[in-house]
Structure formats: structure tokens, C-alpha cells
Amino acid sequence: MTIHSNPLLSVSNPRPIVRSDYEQLWDMLRASTDGVTIRDVPRTIPSINYGKAKAWLGALNSAGYVSREQISLTRNLPTYRYQLIRDIGQKPPRIDSKGAPKPPSVNEAIWRTIRILRTFNANQIIASGSTPELVLNVASVRQYLRHLHSAGYLQVRQAGQAKQLAIYQLIHNTGPKAPEIQRGKKVYDGNLGLVVYDPAKPLPPSHEAEKNNSKHAKKGASHV
């Protein structure tokens, strides 16, 4: 069994997990003892503009995670202070713009299950990762696994055959955020804050060798 690696994912090149703008806002709320105003947010986190801060704080208020108190009124324009009243830990709540709970995406459910199982095939991902609200299907799982393998997150433990799904093993667990598949089949890792794979660029030599060997071994059989 050949182990390929993507140097951007290698544990020998560790990086702290990147916090998104929304996560940084949540961190700011958790750290504040007397709350924050909308204008406080872009001053502290320049990548968040006023409109985005207002929308996120409004959604968190609607969802019951923060309270809102008017602290001033200038030319009929109120200023509110937002105070965290429901701290659920480091991971911020998944909510939409109206504050309603937002279910995980298909890829998020697959990635979460991969991190739990470590070694698996597509059917095992479906059995363990599906919920009443989100039922995974074979096509979506197989497609995402292909992308993760191409990027170097997974290695093939056993190649797929005509009536047998490929068995994968997770070799690079970069964090809780599911790698995103972008236009052009690029893979973006939100834990690292960078694109870790671009099919337009050469693969690491060892990965390319395994990819070619796998193609010859299965002789046209399904990869996953």
C-alpha cells in the first residue's frame, strides 16, 4: 500500500486552525464582558463590514444567543449593545439570516463521518452519516470521496472492483471544517484557510504514482 501525501496537509507542516469571520465575531462576543455594538465589530475585525456585522448580530439575537439593549439615540438612530446570553462553546451556532437553525450540508455530514470512522467505504459513510433530516446518497458520497482522495486527504486501502466499493483511510484530518469543492474542482480547506489542491497543477509525485497504479489495478472497475 503506497501512502501519498500532499505537503500542504502534512502534519510536519502544522498550521493553527483558521477562524472564519463569523467565528471571529463569535469569539469577540464570548470574550466581551459588557457586550459589543455593531460599530465595534469592524474596528476589531476589519474583514467584517458594518452590514455583515449588523446581519450576523441580528440573526444571533433572533435565535436567542445574544440580547439587544438600546444604549443611545442620535438623530432618531438607535445604537444597540449586543450581549452574549447563551454560550454554546467555541463553535458558533449554525443559523440562517433569520436566526433559524441551519442543517449541515451533504459534504459537512460526510466529512464529520469520515473523521469518526477513519477507515470506510461509501456505503458505511451513508449508514453512519445519514440522519432523518439529511439522507446521504451514493452518488454524492462517491463524488466527494474522489475529490478528497485527489487532494490527498484519503488513501485507498483497497481498490474498488466491479461489485465492491473502494475502501479508504483518512490520513490528513485537518480539523472540523469540511473541505470545500470550488469551481474548477479546486479543494479549499477552511481549517487551513487555503486552497490545498488545484487539478490544473501537478500532483505530488507519490500521489501521481498511486493514482496511476490504482487505474491499472482495477482495469476499468469503479474507483469507489
160-197: pLDDT as tens digits: 887 889 999 999 999 999 999 999 999 999 999 999 99
Evaluate if residue 224 carries a pLDDT over 80.
Answer: no
Task: Tell me, yes or no, whether 122 and 62 share the same domain.
Answer: no
- For residue 4, being part of any structural domain is answered with no
pLDDT for 204 equals 54
pLDDT tier, 29 (very low <50, low <70, confident <90, very high otherwise): very high
- Alpha helices, DSSP H only, in the chain? 21-31, 40-44, 50-62, 106-117, 122-129, 138-151, 205-218
pLDDT for 151 equals 94
pLDDT for 93 equals 97
Name the β-bridge partners of 36. 82
- Report how many domains make up the chain: 2
Task: Tell me, yes or no, whether 139 and 77 share the same domain.
Answer: no
**Residue of 201 and 155 predicted with greater confidence:** 155
pLDDT for 201 equals 81
Task: Tell me, yes or no, whether 66 and 139 share the same domain.
Answer: no
- For residue 176, being part of any structural domain is answered with yes
Contacts of 187 (CB under 8 A, 6+ apart): 147, 148, 150, 151, 179, 180, 181, 195, 196, 197, 198
Tell me what the mean pLDDT of segment 13-35 comes to. Answer: 90
pLDDT for 34 equals 95
Task: Tell me, yes or no, whether 67 and 129 share the same domain.
Answer: no
Evaluate if residue 219 carries a pLDDT over 70.
Answer: no
Tell me what the mean pLDDT of segment 85-114 comes to. Answer: 96
- For residue 214, being part of any structural domain is answered with yes
Residue 203 CA to residue 42 CA, distance in Å, equals 39
Q: What's the whole-model pTM score?
A: 0.76
- For residue 16, being part of any structural domain is answered with no
| Pair 190, 205: CB distance under 8 Å | no
Q: Show the 3-state SS of 48-106.
A: CCHHHHHHHHHHHHHCCCEEEEEEEEECCEEEEEEEECCCCCCCCCCECCCCCECCCCH
- For residue 90, being part of any structural domain is answered with no
48-72: pLDDT as tens digits: 999 999 999 999 999 999 999 999 9
Residue 64 CA to residue 30 CA, distance in Å, equals 15
Evaluate if residue 220 carries a pLDDT over 50.
Answer: no
pLDDT for 9 equals 85
- The boundaries of the domain holding residue 200 are 106-218
